[in-house]
Amino acid sequence: MAAQEAYFDAQIRHGIGLRNLSSGEVKQVRRIAILADRELDELLRSRLTTDMSFTSQRWKRLQADIRELRAASWQQMKAANRQSMIDLAKAEQDFAHGLVQAHIPVQLDFALAGTERLVALVTTQPFSGGANAARTLGQWWDGVRAADQRRIMEALQLGVLQGESVPQMAARVQAGMEMSRRNAEAIVRTAVNHASSTARDAFFQANSDVLSVEMWSAMLDGRTTAVCRGRDGHYAPVDGMTMDGVPEPHLDPPSARPPAHPQCRSQMVGVLNPDGIAARMGSRAYVRDTRTRRFRERDFRAETRDKVGAARWKRMTTKQRTAAIARTRKAWARDAVG
């Protein structure tokens, strides 16, 4: 089915574009993190001394100020990422809607998940982003924040115990903050997959008569994990349960969805259901034209130009050409759709 192949290709191309988008989200978070790291470095160099006692009020105040400073920066990153992922989920559903409509031969009415449902899916549905762990978006950010503060305090305590200079202790802390930045970037990339995947899945489920089956599509290269490589090309029902009518090989478990691990690049692509499309059309004849909308429009233009002749086509205005193409399109619809 040519329409299905074109639909597959368009979804996969979009998945590549999402990875470019995730790089932009990473840059946004990185900017916040770099500024926060500079502020912490300035605080340490102005307040930290080599003779600090762990029981002194000065040490306790420094700890409190560090916690407050880092908590504010992590909250800023968390809030920015949360809003970006909500916006992405809304855009992804709209894109999924437009994409499937562009690859079927007739105009159909599709159901869309409400904004509240999309927000709930993005913010309260756990996703895999670490070893043996599944957390919500907010829980992942809270976990990284707690690990960051623990890493900073342990680095300072070790530096004081070993008698390091203030620059040495500041450098030790900076090394730990680099790890925190990498963890934050991993969360962002994984969250992009989570938001886009849940939004598309919500659209598929709302229109399960037209899109009743999904296929796991992995980015196959030297960085592909074993789990994604093993699931590539496997099919699952959109409801994650009923395997009736699902082609083999079957996804195991059928409810598995990306992201499967940190920075997962896999995605689920929808499979068009011709019977469902025909049923949505009611009593009208089934459209057997398997061309995508883009190719139909190209052919409509060429057919119209041949019909009016090259010389006359050149003399026609843009408005006249558009009207002539519209007449060709209506003639096709009358014959193909009924």
pLDDT tens-place string over residues 237-287: 998 877 888 999 999 999 999 999 999 999 999 999 888 877 776 545 455
Q: Do 170 and 315 fall into the same domain? A: no
The candidate with the shortest Cα–Cα distance to 267, out of 1, 6, 17, is 17
**What confidence score (pLDDT) does residue 337 get?**
57
Burial 238-270 (b: 16+ CB within 10 A, else e): beeeeeeebeeeebeebebbbbbbbbbbbbbbb
The answer for 166, left when phi > 0, alpha when psi is -120 to 50, beta otherwise, is: alpha
pLDDT at 187: 94
3-state helix, strand, coil in the chain (%, to 5): 65, 5, 30
- The per-residue pLDDT for 132 is 67
Q: Is residue 250 part of a domain?
A: no
Q: Which domain holds residue 328?
A: 293-336
In a domain, 242, yes or no: no
Are 166 and 315 in the same domain?
Answer: no
Which stretches of 206-334 are assigned E, i.e. beta strand?
213-217, 235-237, 267-271
- Decide if 224 is inside a domain: no
Q: Say if residue 167 is in the same domain as residue 20.
A: yes
Question: Residue 304: its pLDDT value, please?
Answer: 92
What pLDDT digit, counting tens, does each position of 151-175 carry? 999 999 999 999 999 999 999 999 9
Phi, psi of 250 (to 5 degrees): -85, 140
- Do the beta carbons of residue 105 and residue 338 sit within 8 Å? no
With contact defined as beta carbons under 8 Å apart, do 207 and 99 qualify? Answer: no
**Of the candidates 93, 113, 117, which has an alpha carbon nearest to the alpha carbon of residue 270?**
93
Apex 139 CA angle, 133 and 144, nearest 5 = 85
Same domain, 23 and 164: yes
Q: Which residues contact 70 (CB under 8 A, 6 or more apart)?
A: 36, 40, 145, 148, 149, 152
Residue 283 in any domain: the answer is no
**Residue 267, in any domain of the structure:** no
Q: Which residues contact 50 (CB under 8 A, 6 or more apart)?
A: 160, 163, 164, 165, 166
The answer on 139 and 22 residing in a single domain is yes
Last residue of a domain, one of 183, 208, 233: 208
For residues 276 and 59, the model is more confident at: 59
Q: What is the pLDDT of residue 288?
A: 58
Is 219 within the bounds of a domain? no
* pLDDT tier, 6 (very low <50, low <70, confident <90, very high otherwise): confident
23 and 128 in a single domain? The answer is: yes
**Residue tagged 């699931």 (tokens):** 231
Query: Domain ends where: 192, 208, 224?
Result: 208
In a domain, 285, yes or no: no
pLDDT of amino acid 214: 94
Residues 298 and 204 in one domain: no
Mean pLDDT value of segment 141-150: 95
**What is the C-alpha to C-alpha distance for residues 153 and 155, in angstroms, rounded to an integer?**
5
The residue from 208, 242, 262 where one domain ends is 208
Range with the poorest average pLDDT among 146-150, 193-197, 310-314: 310-314
- Domains held by the chain: number: 2
Whether 194 and 297 share a structural domain: no
- Confidence (pLDDT) at 279: 74
Mean pLDDT of all residues in 182-193: 95
Are 289 and 296 spatial neighbours (Cβ–Cβ below 8 Å)?
yes
Give the mean pLDDT of the chain. 90
What is the model's pLDDT at position 338? 44
Q: Write the single-letter amino acid at 313.
A: W
pTM over 0.85: no
Write down the pLDDT at residue 335: 67
Distance CA 185, CA 22 (A): 9
Q: Say yes or no: 69 and 198 in one domain.
A: yes
Same domain, yes or no, for 6 and 139? yes
110 inside domain: yes
What's the rounded Cα separation, in Å, for the pair 267 and 219? 9
Cβ count near 163 (within 10 Å): 9
